[in-house]
Amino acid sequence: MNIDHADPDVLAALRAAFDPDGSAKPALGWPAVHAFEAEHGVVLPEPYRSLVAEITDGSSAGPPEFGLGLAEMPSDWGAGRPERDPGKPFPLTSQWLWDDDPRPEEETEPILEQVFDHGTIVLGTDGCGMYWHLVVTGPHRGHLWNICGEGATPFGAEFGFTSGAPGFAGWVAHWAAGKEWFDVG
């Protein structure tokens, strides 16, 4: 998974996956991507960075079911939540199910807020409060995470929940192949 340089073959696969029916939104262009990065103190991981600059800022056809543009948030994102800060590191490197955590709530609550609001951009939702995040800062930069009311789970075969390749390109390829997100176990 290369998150620093866009591979032309990967970009071609993304182009094919995102616009089979003409539902893709226009690309933002490099000036808009650079402005977003400067405003938030991040450099978006490849190939997502090149996708939104050169190909599309998302598609109503997915992925995920309700995909978003770079600077958008889901309509059901909690009112009154703290302001998101993509520049602060995403805190996790392995799955975390809140209900299975034996620590007291006073200890886990600050981490939980970081999971939802630090180090990621929200790519969209599959409904029912299940959000797909692309990690843009921290040790898991470039990885996709499904974050919902029950917990946070990384996407990629190396984590044991899916047969998909890790990273944005692997996530899109898995979706384009019509596979269930978590198809292992």
pLDDT of residue 2: 81
- With tokens 């630090």, the residue in question is 118
Do 47 and 10 contact (CB within 8 A), yes or no? yes
Whether 82 shows a pLDDT value over 80: the answer reads no
Higher pLDDT, 167 or 59: 167
Q: pLDDT band at residue 20, thresholds of 50, 70 and 90?
A: low
**Number of Cβ atoms within 10 Å of the Cβ of 147:** 21
Name the band, by pLDDT with cuts 50, 70 and 90, for residue 10.
very high
CA R_g for the chain: 16
Beta bridge partners, 134, equal 121, 144
Q: Please, what is the average pLDDT of the chain? A: 91
Q: How far apart are CA 71 and CA 10, in angstroms?
A: 23
Whole-angstrom distance, CA of residue 157 vs CA of residue 183: 10
User: In the chain, which residue ranges form alpha helices assigned H by DSSP?
Assistant: 8-18, 30-40, 48-50, 105-117, 167-176
Q: Evaluate if residue 78 carries a pLDDT over 80.
A: no
The two three-digit tokens of residue 44, written as one number: 């978006």
| Percent residues over pLDDT 70 in the chain | 98
Q: Quick one: average pLDDT of 131-156?
A: 96
- For residues 142 and 132, is the Cβ–Cβ distance under 8 A? no
Residue pair 114/93 in contact (Cβ under 8 Å)? The answer is no
Distance of CA 45 to the CA centre of its chain: 10
Minimal CA–CA distance to 1: which of 173, 132, 123, 165?
165
Structure tokens given for 80: 């009154």
Q: Cα 33–137–113 angle (5° rounding)?
A: 110
pLDDT for residue 14 is more than 80: yes
For residue 88, pLDDT beyond 70: yes
Most confidently modeled of 108-112, 113-117, 132-136? 132-136
Hey, what are 130's tokens? Answer: 């299940």
What is the structure's pLDDT at 145? 97
Domain ranges of the chain: 8-72+82-176
